[in-house]
Amino acid sequence: MEKIFQKLSLASASLVLVILLGIFATLFYEAKPAIDEFGLHFIVDKHWNQEVPIEAGDNAAAPKEEEQSVDSMLFGDDDATPMKTVFGGLIPIVGTILSTLIALVFALPIAMGIAVFLAEMASKTVSKFVGIAIELLAAIPSIIFGMWGLYYFAPIIADAFGGYQVSLLTAGLVLGIMILPFMAAITRDSMNTTPDVLIESAYALGATKFEVVKDVIFPYSKVGIIGSIILALGRALGETMAVAFLIGGIYSLPEKITDPTISIPVAMALNFGEASGLGENALFYLGLILFVLSFAIISLAKFYFLKRSKI
Partner 1 sequence: MRLYLNKLFLALSALSALIGLGFLTWILITLFIRGVDSLHFSLFLNDLINGGLRNLIVGQLILAGLASALGVPLGMIAGIYTREYGRGKYAEFIRDLSDIMMSAPSIVIGAFVYAFAVAPFGGTNGFAGIIALAIMMIPIIINTTDSMLSLVPKELREAGMALGASKYRVILDIVIKAAKVGIMTGILLAFARIAGETAPLLFTSGTSSYFTMNLSETFPSLTVSIYSLANEPQQSSRDLAWAASFILTMMVLVINLTGKFITRNKHK
Measuring CA to CA, how many Å separate 80 from each of 52, 64, 65, 86, 272?
11, 13, 10, 17, 32
Rounded to whole angstroms, the Cα distance separating 82 from 146 reads 42
- Shortest reach from residue 72's CB to partner 1, in Å: 34
Under 8 Å between Cβ of 266 and 236 = no
Query: Could you say which residues in the range 107-166 bind partner 1, by CB under 8 A?
Result: 109-114, 116-118, 121-122, 130, 132-137, 139-148, 150, 152
Rounded to whole angstroms, the Cα distance separating 52 from 81 reads 9
- Shortest reach from residue 191's CB to partner 1, in Å: 12
Query: Could you say which residues in the range 228-267 bind partner 1, by CB under 8 A?
Result: 231, 234-235, 237-241, 244-245, 265
Nearer to partner 1, 83 or 231 (CB): 231
Cα 144 to chain centroid, rounded:
18
Tell me which residue of 242, 247, 231, 241 sits closest to 94, measured CA to CA.
247
Rounded to whole angstroms, the Cα distance separating 225 from 188 reads 9
97 is an interface residue for partner 1 by CB under 8 A: no
Query: Could you say which residues in the range 11-30 bind partner 1, by CB under 8 A?
Result: 12-17, 19-20, 22-23, 26-27, 29-30
Rounded to whole angstroms, the Cα distance separating 219 from 241 reads 36
Query: Could you say which residues in the range 183-222 bind partner 1, by CB under 8 A?
Result: 184, 208-211, 213
Query: Could you say which residues in the range 271-300 bind partner 1, by CB under 8 A?
Result: 272-273, 283-284, 287, 290-291, 294-295, 298-299
The 51-80 contact track toward partner 1, x by CB under 8 A, reads ------------------------------
